[in-house]
Amino acid sequence: MSLSFEGRVVLVTGAGGGLGKEYALAFAERGASVVVNDLGADTKGGGKSSAAADKVVEEIRAKGGKAVANYDSVEDGEKLIQTALDAFGRIDILVNNAGILRDRSFARTSDLDWDLIHRVHLRGSFLVTRAAWNHMKNQKFGRIIMTTSAAGIYGNFGQANYSAAKLGLVGLANTLAVEGRKYNIFCNTIAPVAGSRLTETVMPPDLVESLKPEYVAPMVLWLCHEQCQENGGLFEVGAGWIGKLRWERSQGRIVREKNQPMSPEAVREQWDKICDFTDATKPSSVQESLQSVVSVLSRVEEEVSASPTAAVTAASSASGINPAEAVGQKLPPTTFSFTHTQCILYALGVGMSTKDPDHLRFLYEGHSDFSCLPTFGVIPSQAAMMDGGLASIPGLNIDFTQVLHGEQYLELYNPLPTSGQLTSEATIADVLDKGSGAVILLDVNTYNGDELISYNQFSVFVVGAGGFGGKRTSEKAKAPLPPPKRAPDAVVIDSTTRDQAALYRLSGDWNPLHIDPSFAAMGGFKSPILHGLCSFGFAARHVLKQYANNDPSRFKAIKVRFVKPVMPGQSLQTEMWKEGNRIHIQCKVKETDAVVLSGAYVDLHGASEASPESLTKGGGLQSELVFAEIGRRIKDLGAELVKKVNAVFGWEITKDGKNVAQWTIDLKNGSGSLHEGPYSGKADVTITVSDEDFMEVAQGKLNPQKAFFAGKLKVRGNIMLSQKLEVILKDYAKL
């Protein structure tokens, strides 16, 4: 079907000659009613005549087309649009084309040279477009063209004024594309090349002759047709060739270290890398751009980053955070009732399939081991967020359209039931000021009756809400951890389906970002994106299968940071590193190699822990007694020990060469504590030692330094801290 413009009203500015005339004729030929605007100025903006526009109108009418003339300058934007409304009753399409040149070398550019060019090109396009905007918005249709130039995109000698105004139009178009999208107003920009009176002074005559405006006009018509969904595009077009332009950004380099000032020398050192376009990315929105900058912040600070998996949508425009008021506030409790249906729906949502016989225990309620996937534990707790409870918290006046789900931590205290009623209590654990935004830590405890079954920590990033003078870090934050620097121990690749998000949302995340193309477009995405918590579910079950034989009782906890969105249909590649009972994970989109979940890990209960008999049969670990004693001592003397030691010690106890237990002695935070299992943050030093050698050291029979040099005691992290071991252990010589 040929492209018709019947019923459409088109305004072409500067249509008395050159390209504009060609556009006007082409639109009219295809049925449009055309307003032919031209001031009839000379190429430098001087003079005025109605002849140019009149001639084009005559030509259109002679061919049976519909056209009227307008002789106002584009600086009188309202008048141009009024002509369209008076003559044809509406305005559908606007081609901002009018232009002049006042070329001078930069030093000789006068104020007038500068101002006139800006007035006609940039301000003129602004004024005409603004006059048309509300009409287009109300009728939910509009197509706008901005005309830039290669001189603006690349720079050109003698055209400083023109280059600046022309690239200004690209900026204007970019924002109109964002603001207009939801009203079906699309704005695109062309950089044409054609012989015209503007180019006859710079091009040889035969080139002026052969680069015909009619080789540009069809592109303008296509961009302005209702069938064309292009928006925010930038194109070079001439001689019958059309190419599209976009931004490319190098991978870049972080030149700053935690708690260190940033220096120009560091920039110099990394300069080649900063400018290296290998594996360049192509950011296409402020969100994407900001995303990577914010993620750098968090990489340096080892703290929260953000993913565009918006967790909450509600309306609020006032912005203001007062941590003193907000922290400790509780959200209204929520209840969640479920049956096996929700468990199965969730399992399908995170990609389980009957293709894999292993998955049946999560998909069939009649299976003898029917279970709920551990990561279903986020579902009952997310209601607190989804219900917009955050909006009711005093001291949290934030723009909920700017809310991103940054990180997630989930810990289960018991395997989840497959049906029942759970209640969740959510508390604002902390609010952090990250400069570019605020991070809200929301702790949610979920109970089955009186029994605490899970703990979730949602890290919610609020873009633009920072700068309220709050602290940057929190001891309450469950920190993400980087994976070891070796190649992964295991990799699982799994594909999501085109309908993965459509399926996952049925588990209770109804944000239209994951299903509604126009809503996703408003957020700057080409299409709806997968839920971050869906990728999270994929990654967790990959670990559960790889390292725990799909046994949900082995699952203890998971932490992830959402880095980038996944599009439904892409494949997820989960890379895993086993470090004792902790499995570090990193998840990528296989097709693009982009990291989507970082700093992530799953903690498993040791196989021995899962079956307590094996411990007693094996005689248990002697070191357990010492740790129990250390725990008691910390309770009594913790504050004093914290002062003396000020460090977190991780312990890995081995037996017969296998990792059998992990402990953390925290003599840094609060008044000290002992935990079984690895530290959720980064231990200052981690010591690996066999159960037997640990006892030797604890009883003072083996000097820790000697044990180290004898290879009996391995130390990772700050080795100097091992000297403080004696402070911790000395009392046990008596044991």
What gap in Å lies between CA 308 and CA 288, rounded to an integer?
9
Neighbour-count burial of 132, counting CB atoms closer than 10 A to its CB (0-12 exposed, 13-18 middle, 19+ buried):
buried
238 touches 215 (CB < 8 A): yes
Pick from 141, 116, 129, 140: nearest CA to 42 = 116
Choices 186-194, 347-355, 475-483, 504-512 (CB under 6 A): range interacting with ligand NAI: 186-194
Residues 109-148: x where in contact with ligand NAI by CB under 6 A, - otherwise, as a string: -----------x---x----------------------x-
372 touches 536 (CB < 8 A): no
Nearer to ligand NAI, 93 or 191 (CB): 191
Nearer to ligand NAI, 95 or 290 (CB): 95
The two tokens of residue 326 are 């907000």
Pick from 17, 59, 27: nearest CA to 195 = 17
Residues 6 or more apart from 556 whose CB is under 8 A from it? 411, 412, 581, 602, 603, 604, 605, 677
Choices 97-105, 283-291, 308-316, 579-587 (CB under 6 A): range interacting with ligand NAI: 97-105
Nearer to ligand NAI, 39 or 431 (CB): 39
Question: In whole angstroms, how close is the CB of 247 to ligand NAI at the nearest point?
Answer: 20
Question: In whole angstroms, how close is the CB of 72 to ligand NAI at the nearest point?
Answer: 7
- Contact call for residue 188 and ligand NAI (CB under 6 A): no
Report DSSP letters for 597-627, one per residue: EEEEEEEE--HHHHSHHHHHHHT--HHHHHH
The two tokens of residue 287 are 């969100």
What gap in Å lies between CA 495 and CA 670, rounded to an integer?
45
The two tokens of residue 522 are 């408003």
Nearer to ligand NAI, 156 or 250 (CB): 156
- List Cα–Cα distances, 87 to 8, 68, 91, 537, in angstroms: 12, 7, 10, 60
Choices 104-112, 196-204, 265-273, 537-545 (CB under 6 A): range interacting with ligand NAI: 196-204
- List Cα–Cα distances, 670 to 14, 384, 631, in angstroms: 72, 29, 14
Residues 6 or more apart from 212 whose CB is under 8 A from it? 194, 195
Question: In whole angstroms, how close is the CB of 121 to ligand NAI at the nearest point?
Answer: 6
Beta strands in 299-402 (DSSP E): 320-321, 334-338, 396-397
Q: Is the dihedral of CA 146, 149, 152, 157 positive or negative?
A: negative
Among 27, 36, 73, 712, binds ligand NAI (CB under 6 A): 73
Nearer to ligand NAI, 43 or 319 (CB): 43
Among 11, 19, 34, 503, binds ligand NAI (CB under 6 A): 19
Nearer to ligand NAI, 40 or 512 (CB): 40
What gap in Å lies between CA 395 and CA 547, rounded to an integer?
44
Question: In whole angstroms, how close is the CB of 299 to ligand NAI at the nearest point?
Answer: 42
Among 3, 43, 391, 545, binds ligand NAI (CB under 6 A): 43
Neighbour-count burial of 717, counting CB atoms closer than 10 A to its CB (0-12 exposed, 13-18 middle, 19+ buried):
middle
Question: In whole angstroms, how close is the CB of 69 to ligand NAI at the nearest point?
Answer: 11
Neighbour-count burial of 298, counting CB atoms closer than 10 A to its CB (0-12 exposed, 13-18 middle, 19+ buried):
buried
Nearer to ligand NAI, 98 or 503 (CB): 98
Question: In whole angstroms, how close is the CB of 221 to ligand NAI at the nearest point?
Answer: 16
Among 34, 38, 407, 430, binds ligand NAI (CB under 6 A): 38
Size of the site for ligand NAI (CB under 6 A): 33
Nearer to ligand NAI, 118 or 578 (CB): 118
Nearer to ligand NAI, 202 or 506 (CB): 202
- Contact call for residue 13 and ligand NAI (CB under 6 A): yes
Beta-strand pair 185-193/142-147: parallel
Question: In whole angstroms, how close is the CB of 59 to ligand NAI at the nearest point?
Answer: 14
Nearer to ligand NAI, 20 or 552 (CB): 20
Pick from 335, 342, 509: nearest CA to 422 = 335
Question: In whole angstroms, how close is the CB of 85 to ligand NAI at the nearest point?
Answer: 18
- Contact call for residue 192 and ligand NAI (CB under 6 A): yes
End-to-end CA distance of the chain: 91
Among 83, 149, 408, 546, binds ligand NAI (CB under 6 A): 149
- Contact call for residue 16 and ligand NAI (CB under 6 A): yes
What gap in Å lies between CA 95 and CA 195, rounded to an integer?
19
Q: According to the 3-state scheme, what is the secondary structure of 681-712?
A: CCCCEEEEEEHHHHHHHHCCCCCHHHHHHCCC
Among 50, 82, 184, 199, binds ligand NAI (CB under 6 A): 199
Pick from 444, 445, 330: nearest CA to 394 = 330
Choices 194-202, 378-386, 567-575, 617-625 (CB under 6 A): range interacting with ligand NAI: 194-202
Choices 39-47, 61-69, 416-424, 653-661 (CB under 6 A): range interacting with ligand NAI: 39-47
The active-site residue out of 71, 162, 346, 547 is 162
Nearer to ligand NAI, 111 or 450 (CB): 111
Nearer to ligand NAI, 19 or 84 (CB): 19
Among 11, 18, 382, 460, binds ligand NAI (CB under 6 A): 18
Among 5, 45, 348, 707, binds ligand NAI (CB under 6 A): 45
Pick from 119, 69, 78: nearest CA to 99 = 119
Question: In whole angstroms, how close is the CB of 110 to ligand NAI at the nearest point?
Answer: 18
Among 33, 97, 174, 295, binds ligand NAI (CB under 6 A): 97
Question: In whole angstroms, how close is the CB of 10 to ligand NAI at the nearest point?
Answer: 15
> According to DSSP H, which parts of 227-352 are helical?
264-269, 271-274, 286-301, 323-326, 340-349
Phi, psi of 607 (to 5 degrees): -60, -35
C-alpha count within 13 angstroms, C-beta hemisphere, residue 442: 34
The two tokens of residue 58 are 């005559």
- Contact call for residue 17 and ligand NAI (CB under 6 A): yes
- Contact call for residue 20 and ligand NAI (CB under 6 A): yes
- Contact call for residue 196 and ligand NAI (CB under 6 A): yes
- Contact call for residue 99 and ligand NAI (CB under 6 A): yes
Among 40, 218, 252, 512, binds ligand NAI (CB under 6 A): 40
- Contact call for residue 197 and ligand NAI (CB under 6 A): yes
Residues 6 or more apart from 487 whose CB is under 8 A from it? none
- Contact call for residue 198 and ligand NAI (CB under 6 A): yes
Nearer to ligand NAI, 27 or 336 (CB): 27
Q: Which residue is nearest to ligand NAI (CB)?
A: 18
Choices 185-193, 605-613, 631-639, 708-716 (CB under 6 A): range interacting with ligand NAI: 185-193
115 touches 162 (CB < 8 A): no
Q: What is the DSSP-derived secondary structure letter of residue 37? A: E
Give yes or no: 346 in active site: no
Greatest CA span in the chain, whole angstroms? 111
Among 25, 28, 57, 98, binds ligand NAI (CB under 6 A): 98
Pick from 600, 592, 599, 551: nearest CA to 572 = 592
Choices 40-48, 328-336, 409-417, 653-661 (CB under 6 A): range interacting with ligand NAI: 40-48
Question: In whole angstroms, how close is the CB of 404 to ligand NAI at the nearest point?
Answer: 40
**Contacting positions for ligand NAI (CB under 6 A):** 13-14, 16-20, 37-41, 43, 45, 52, 73-74, 97-100, 120, 124, 147, 149, 191-194, 196-199
Active site residues: 162
